[in-house]
Structure 1
Amino acid sequence: MNRAVLWLGLMCRVVFSQAGPPWNDEQRLLEGLLDAPGRYDRRVRPVKNATHPIDVHVIVGQERIAILSLDSRQQSLYSAASFSVQWEDERLSWNPDDYGGVEYMIVNTNEIWYPRLIMRKDGARIGVIGDSTESLLMYNGKVNTMNMIEYHSSCFLKQGKFPFDSQTCDVLVGLTTTPDSLVRLLPRLTKDYQLNIVNDWKLLDVTIEPFKLKCANFEVDHSDVTSVEWVTSPVIGDPRCMFTIDIRISISLQREWVAYTYSVIGPSALLGIIAAAIFWLPPDCGEKLSFGVSLLLGFVVFQTLVQEALPEGGNGEPPAALSFIVINFFLCGCSVLLTAVTLILHNWEVPEKKKNNNKVFCVNLGSTISQEENNYDLGRDGDALEDEISKETVATNWKRIAHRLDMLGFVLYVGGFFVNIIIFVMSATN
């Protein structure tokens, strides 16, 4: 009997020691809000009337928005943004006077109901709010949680105006299979956000707006499990069609073009200007053609070096800078070809006529006499002089043609070069 009483006393002591008074008012408040039986169920939306939606405020850029990288060749955006999500939970309200003046406290998000916001891009889903995220509870039932998200996403770049192009990348943030009749997202962008850009882009604008996804439902004929009828054009108001609201974040960026002008456009234009000098070199200098070939090789080496800096064309349109370099290369090649033609014309020589050396052999007294017939005849001297003058006249005419061809080539080259500049500026600015 005494042993039974002793065991009973020990058990009561253990029970009362475990169920002792709360450590402080915050613990007492937490136990009253979340641990009381039937007091809180995080699976249920925090609205008194189940037919009413709950308003969730999504604030983007509360701390900062960072553009970490935008790869033009891979067309991928790597960025980060802070999200502040706020909503009201009537079950988490209390009177501060009943709990020692406690007006707020911090709990893990997995202990309360919270909207399952995700970032949708390229088939990947990133949770905006995780179970380990801390939430701030206010005495009036306001709940606020904040998180910083880093994400990769593809961004289709239209780079026809490179390096003077501007791009806009979109990211969707929303709920999974949750219609707007249950949870209503209210986006907002802070005006005093801190912007960090660590690459060669500058921010033009950040916009945030609701984005209603198209209704995609289907009907299943239960008599035939394999029969599925897709509803492609549902009627607005059809109870089978549940619209979901996402938030579309649009980031508008402009490329910093100064560095590309110095490293890509400037050297190409300089090589194009130097190539015009090939037409002014005298043909007799011996370096006219080799100078043009050297410039042509310089263009090839330059294009190889800047190949990594040039992006791939987007939307089937080559970048303006690439077109500018290729056209300059083509003009330089044409100038070298024309130079070769002018050198041929400049050095054109009339083939000499064969001389008729008629020899007369006379046999006199057993000796053979060889005599050249009329070699120094006055008539033949006149013919030779005419041939020499004719040859010089023809050569002079070919040199004049070569010179005029050089001048014509110079005019055409300069005209083509300036037309190329005009086309580049128009394609980059329009």
Structure 2
Amino acid sequence: MAFLVLLTLLGLVKSILCNEHDLRSDLFNTSRHNPFVLPRNSAAPINVTLSWVTGFVVGFDEIEGKFTIMGNLEMSWKDELMMWNKEVYNVSSIVAVGKEVWTPPIYVLNKMDSIFLSNGLNNDLLRIKHTGEVSSTHSGEMSVSCPLDPIHFPFDIQTCVMMFGLTVHSSAEVRLKFSDNPIQSVTGAGIMTVDHPIWTITGFKTTASEYSNVASIKFCLFRKSLYYTFTMLGPSALLNCLTIFAFLIPNDQGEKISCGMTIFLAFVVFLVQVGDIIPKNSNAVPVLGKYYLYSIIGSAVMVINTVIHSFIANKRAQNGETKVEPMNNDLEKPATFEMYDESISVSSNESTGRKIPLVKFLKKHGLKMLDIICFVISVLLIGISVIMLLTTKSTCDSA
């Protein structure tokens, strides 16, 4: 009895194998099948449905403008020439290589240094059902061109687009469209599974038109700014505080100008570092670059103020004044200088009238006014740069 059951099972397996062999012989017969012929029995276009399964973000080369992502591109379409009766052959689906049947000649329009879809689906495995439904999954690392917009750096959101197109067929023959769930994850938990240290995908938008053979997926990449805040914004905020408090250093000490030059050079180093991170772009200036530029001007104003004080103090010392401190203008002058000043004052009073009070006021309080003006300019520049940095906001037009 057991021997008869074994023979029956072996016969059934042999029958199934023979049926699939016969099915393949019938389907791939060159007299009725050609992989270069559109698999349709009418004039209706073939609809190729796309969906993207995100693995993780590999990286974003900001200098070259290259966005790299790992994932799977799932495609499905109907092949009306690959249909059979599963009751006759006792087979519901088969597996075939892409070069054995017709596959959509799809490629990536904005690809950079990547072999993703270089040979189409010729070397991929396809699942063909008895209803003619064909499905395929192309996996790999894809790099696309994504120019960086540096305006809101480092609080920016970049938009990267993956564009898929057909090489030969028009939209009247083959059309690309997206499924109802176009963006998925390898674990099914959102569009992003493995987080990147710098970038996070926050949204997406798919675009496909029935009048065009081009379909695109737009990703929104949010930059995590903690690294740049810790390494750039924190130290520069302390330097701005030093710029303001440096006005309290006495002008007759050389430490004030050395402190100002140190702060000035530190901001220049930060600005150069920003220039090395972002691409060279003359159409837009990043907000962080503007922040450092205004901070540099604020520190330069403090240095210029100190230089003017030193110049005037040296001039007064050469003219015979006993004290070099330029902020105190109530010192007694030598008799010869007073006689000379009185003679000039009399002649000036006779010729210019009311100019003497203004000259005396500027001579007595001019340096103090210069200090106040320079201090206000530095505070305004630093305040504008900080407000501009805190109010910057980048958006992405994702769905």
**What TM-score comes out, normalization by structure 1 length?**
0.70
Structure 2: state its 5+ residue gaps: 1-14, 187-191, 322-331, 341-361
Q: Specify every segment of 5 or more residues in structure 1 that has no aligned partner in the other structure, as ranges.
A: 1-20, 213-242, 354-382, 392-396
For residue 19 of structure 2, what is the aligned residue in structure 1? 25
Separation of aligned partners in 2, 1:290 and 1:41:
82
Residue 312 of structure 1 contacts residue 318 of structure 1 at CA under 8 Å; is this kept in 2? no
Alignment of 1:8-407 (within 5 A): 24-35=18-29, 38-49=31-42, 51-61=43-53, 64-99=54-89, 101-121=90-110, 126-127=117-118, 129-188=120-179, 189-194=181-186, 195=192, 196-211=194-209, 244-309=212-277, 311-312=278-279, 314=281, 316-346=283-313, 348-349=316-317, 351-352=319-320, 401-407=366-372
1:412 corresponding residue in structure 2? 377
SS at match of 2:81: strand
Q: Is the 8 A contact 2:83 2:129 kept in 1?
A: yes
Counterpart-to-counterpart distance in 2, 1:250 and 1:46: 31
1:384: Cα distance to partner? 9.8
Return the alpha-carbon distance in structure 2 between the equivalents of residues 384 and 128 of structure 1: 92
- The one-letter code of the counterpart of 2:306 is T
**Percent of matched pairs sharing the same residue:** 22
- Does the Cα contact within 8 Å between 1:118 and 1:126 map onto a contact in 2? yes
Tell me, in whole angstroms, the C-alpha distance in 2 between the residues paired with 1:274 and 1:338.
Answer: 15
Higher strand share: 1
TM-score (norm 2): 0.74
**TM superposition shift of 1:160:** 1.0
State whether residues 122 and 153 of structure 1, in contact with CA within 8 Å, keep that contact through their aligned partners in structure 2. yes
- Asked whether the equivalents of residues 103 and 138 of structure 1 are also in contact (C-alpha less than 8 Å), the reply is yes
Structure 1 distance, partners of 2:167, 2:22, is 35
CA change 1:301–1:315 in 2 (3 A) is: closer
The 1-side partners of 2:134 and 2:290 are apart by 56
* Deviating more after overlay: 293-302 vs 331-340: 293-302
Kindly name which structure, 1 or 2, has the bigger radius of gyration based on alpha carbons.
Answer: 1
Q: Which has the higher helix share?
A: 2
Deviation track 1:300-341 (CA, whole Å, cap 9, x = no partner) reads: 3444445423x1354601111011112211211121110121
Provide Cα deviations, 1:248-267, integer angstroms capped at 9, x if missing partner. Answer: 12112122222212222222
Q: Return the alpha-carbon distance in structure 1 between the equivalents of residues 319 and 131 of structure 2.
A: 109
Counterpart amino acid of 2:137? M
Q: 1:335 to 1:315 in 2, by over 3 A?
A: closer
Aligned length: 344
Deviation at 1:281, TM superposition (A): 1.0
Other structure's SS at 2:79 match? strand
